[in-house]
Amino acid sequence: MTPLRVALAAAVVLAPSITAGQGPAGSAAAAGGGPACLEVIAHRGASGYLPEHTLPAYALGYGQGAGWIEPDVVLTADGVAIALHDVTLDRTTDVAERYPDRAREDGRYYAADFTFAELERLRVVESRPGRFPHATFRVPRLTEVLDLVEGLNRTTGRRAGVYPELKSPDIQPGLGETVLDALAGYDLPILIQSFDAAALAALVTDLPRVQLIASPAQLEPAGLDEIAGYAVAIGAPTVLIYRDPAIVARAHERDLAVHAYTLRADQLAPEFDSLAAEVEALIAAGVDAVFTDHPDQVLALAAAHGAACSPASEAGADPR
């Protein structure tokens, strides 16, 4: 069975168990002052179960009910936008085995030094101990991820979105424009994120943007004021939110949603003894959405706290 068929099978098998789909992040809240609606973002797909940034991982995340599928995006030597977390290939592929003589002087293998045709020979490997044991799947184009989510939306009737991250746009000229060109061909809810504030603010687009927090200074009033000028949300580390839950209120005062990263069932924050306790803390803080490697578990915990989101029926709903 090809990787795409595996991906589709995963979604089809799991989708019937979903009781409530997700809509654009932060778009719904419980009525009457109840608990916030916690949107769930499949971080690099359902990467706790299958290797990150592969079509099967994305399909599994969709099938588990995540409202957003998150591909990180970098460019190849021939300008193809691919789903890959790092600008290098070493950590998540078998590149050193297949192209042993293609490393740069620093010993690293850069995606920008390979054409997409060359990358198709690679197999994605799991970088975290104890997770998926096989090197079976390949590095996908961004358009393949978009095809997958748009196609599953059509066949399931859901409105899941895609949440691409621009990776290191300062060293990848044209990345933002390439991603925008790819997105233009699809009818999908979209959020665009980056740590690079200058690149994110400079994007010429009406699509909503999310500023990932690289420095605590960005969470001070002046920093949030600046972000509110071009973004609809911030992506903040869970550790900062646990330390100072008032971050959420300060962001909300500026009409910025708060998306927390990253929950992992197999790597808890030091101050917590369970994933349930982490989810409870984020809901209590008023967080709007959360990135997670384990969408099914976080969705179940959100539902147990009355914070499950209702399905969105229209694309382009308010991302708050």
The set of catalytic residues is: 43, 85
Q: Please tell me the distance from the alpha carbon of residue 125 to that of residue 13, in angstroms, as a whole number.
A: 24
Q: Please tell me the distance from the alpha carbon of residue 4 to that of residue 176, in angstroms, as a whole number.
A: 26
Residue 262 phi/psi, 5° resolution? -130, 135
- Residues shown for the chain: 320
